[in-house]
Amino acid sequence: MKKIFSLLLLLMAVFSGAVAADGFYTSGTKLMDSNGNEFIMRGCNFSWAWQRGNEYTVIPAAKRIGCNAIRIQLSTGRKWQKCSASDLERLIKLCEDNKLVAVFNTHDETGSNDYSDLENAANFWIEMKDILNAHRKTVLVNISNEWYGQWDSYGWAEGYKKVIPKLRNAGILNTLVVDCAGWGQYPKSIFDRGREVAAADSKGNLVFSMHFYQDAAGSDSQVRSNIDKALNVGCPVLIGEFAYEHQGHPVAWQTILDYTKEKNVGYLVWSWTGNGGGVEACDMFGGYDDSVWKPNGTNTVKGRNGIQQTSRECSIFDPNGGNQGGGDPTPNPPGQDESTVLWEGSVDFGAWKGMLEYKPGSAQWKSQQMGALKKGDKLVFSFTGAASDEKAPGQIQLATFGLDSQWTWTVLVDADNIYNNEYTYTISGEETDGYTDLAMISAHGFAVKGQNATLVKVERVVAGNGGNTGGDDTPGGENETTVDTPQFNVSTWEAMYHLEKSRLGSLTSADKVRLYVSCNDGAEIQIAYKTASSDWTQHVDYAPISGSTYDLAMTDAGLLEGANYDGLYFKGHDYTIQKVSVIRPGQSGVDETVVHESHRAGIDFDEPYEIYGIDGRQVREMVAGRLYILRQGETVVKHIAR
């Protein structure tokens, strides 16, 4: 009877969705913590095996920059001083004190094809079994760093099919992490034989790891393909190492950050500091603390979808047990936005043929999210393959539906260009066709079509506190429009970023260009432009740059001419341009009286003038009944088209 009652309790827990676990476990392609919340690693690597004594500096600094996990290199004693039981306990406690999940690996077997080396690593873990099991809520075991250097699936699989049962039979309960073959850069070993290796784990608690350098992640398509194929095996996937550059070869690091976010795949950057032998560019920092940032750290920590934007602390460190679905989110810093995916899929626009209708009753409609929309929120549309050709660019049309019984089609954005595979629409709350965009979109959704791009995702972005949402109606407000997110590292004077005229649009003397930057100590900026009569004119020369933003006013006539002729050029050293926006005067520069008749607008319609939507985006033509901002020289007015 006691056994039957226990079985009933177990079944009740299963069918109610409750999960009681003593440590990390896997569920399909998800890594789950002991509270039953998905955990997505965002962290770094620390080479403790040959950097002993610096753990009290590195580990707290890793938490400080936003990491939720850290991968630590240990030694079995074959190449470096052996990690003792007391060493391991001390490292675990230091990680737990800083609320970091620890992924430990042994580094002595790197590149070896000899099974005896892999078995030696297993013997080390078995020796540490009691410590590991006692901390299986916070510790994962990466069996061996890059064992099996050969680019071959068979030998790799046969080795792990023997060593995994050895570890489980010895009583190790932790989640196991297995690096793929080819020094960690042969993901095909996972595609070919991963299911066999996973089947060797009697606990069904295994994660596959790929190391993304030039051989496995040299291009955007390679990154996406390797992640997709590895996930198809059915186990969680981790990018256990990667850097923005390796051995002088570029790595598609931005795609790694973007696609891992899209696919909920963890990543750990290689590595904190102290790299040599041709891989010095892998240093995230210039020392053991976080005071001197290197490009690899700046890009992967502060960049788009980097650690600081996507890291969430593991819910195991939350005394309340976290929350369903994602652990305990680290509170957003002031001004940082929160995003929620509304729709994911693939709609090829082609030539204005493909269309997504996102409305009540559609498969992915999220009524709670849509009903909670408010003025200033953004809809962010993500694309692949958006053409940048001026003659046939990727373009978007966004429409919604009126609130009458006929579901009147209302165009909000008409044939606007897509830049960097992304387009953002800000909810303005302005009235169109008798209804506000907020009322129409929140109740009836939207339709989106266009040309020369494939829509893959739509997100709702809730503006964080302290940031301008681009929809400020207060007198003196500004309309800020993102024109590029280059993540361009101006590391030395040889590097140069060209902000093209096509991105800037037509500027006036009242506008300014804002750079969002991250700067190392002593950073300097140089700004230049070209005109029809001048090949190169310095506007700012060797000026110090610091902080997170740099504003460039267009008040200088030569600078304005150059920006409208060929764009702007940025050089210097020790800073990274993360985002560029154009800021145009808001309603402080607009006649507060809505103008209904053209002759009262102060605009000479026989002369060139510029047309802007209420969200600050420039458009080609007006649609009757809609409100616009018109500019002609220094004249700026509001106007309802007739």
Name the β-bridge partners of 139: 102
Nearest to 515 by CA among 551, 483, 478: 551
Name the β-bridge partners of 479: 584
Name the β-bridge partners of 216: none
E strand map for 75-156: 101-106, 139-142
User: For residues 44 and 282, what is the distance between their CA atoms, to the nearest angstrom?
Assistant: 11
Burial class (CB in 10 A: 0-12, 13-18, 19+), 148: buried
Which residue type, as a one-letter code, is found at position 569? Y
Nearest to 543 by CA among 524, 565, 559: 524
User: For residues 343 and 366, what is the distance between their CA atoms, to the nearest angstrom?
Assistant: 9
User: For residues 155 and 210, what is the distance between their CA atoms, to the nearest angstrom?
Assistant: 17
Which DSSP string do the residues of 162-193 spell out, in sequence order? Answer: HHHHHHHHTT--SPEEEE-BTTTTBTHHHHHH
User: For residues 315 and 275, what is the distance between their CA atoms, to the nearest angstrom?
Assistant: 33
**Catalytic annotation present for 621:** no
**Catalytic annotation present for 241:** yes
Burial class (CB in 10 A: 0-12, 13-18, 19+), 119: middle
Which residue type, as a one-letter code, is found at position 636? V
55, 109, 146, 478: which is the annotated catalytic residue?
A: 146
User: For residues 243 and 237, what is the distance between their CA atoms, to the nearest angstrom?
Assistant: 17
- The answer to whether 41 and 238 have CB atoms below 8 angstroms apart is yes
109, 241, 478, 524: which is the annotated catalytic residue?
A: 241
Look up residue 343 and give its two tokens.
């729709």
User: For residues 41 and 71, what is the distance between their CA atoms, to the nearest angstrom?
Assistant: 10
User: For residues 54 and 537, what is the distance between their CA atoms, to the nearest angstrom?
Assistant: 48
User: For residues 283 and 226, what is the distance between their CA atoms, to the nearest angstrom?
Assistant: 25
- The answer to whether 485 and 304 have CB atoms below 8 angstroms apart is yes
Name the β-bridge partners of 422: 382, 419
SS3 state at 2: helix
Which residue type, as a one-letter code, is found at position 258? D
User: For residues 109 and 78, what is the distance between their CA atoms, to the nearest angstrom?
Assistant: 9
Residue 333 DSSP label: P
Residue entry with tokens 């309340």: 320
Which DSSP string do the residues of 487-549 spell out, in sequence order? Answer: -EEE-STT--EEE-HHHH-S--TT-EEEEEEEEEEEEEEEEEEEETTEEEEEEEEEEE--SSE
Q: What crossing angle do the helices spanning 153-169 and 115-127 adopt, rounded to 10°?
A: 20
- Sort strands 338-348 and 422-426 into parallel, antiparallel or unpaired: unpaired
Residue 431 DSSP label: E
- The answer to whether 308 and 302 have CB atoms below 8 angstroms apart is yes
Biggest CA-to-CA distance, the chain = 94
Active site residues: 146, 241
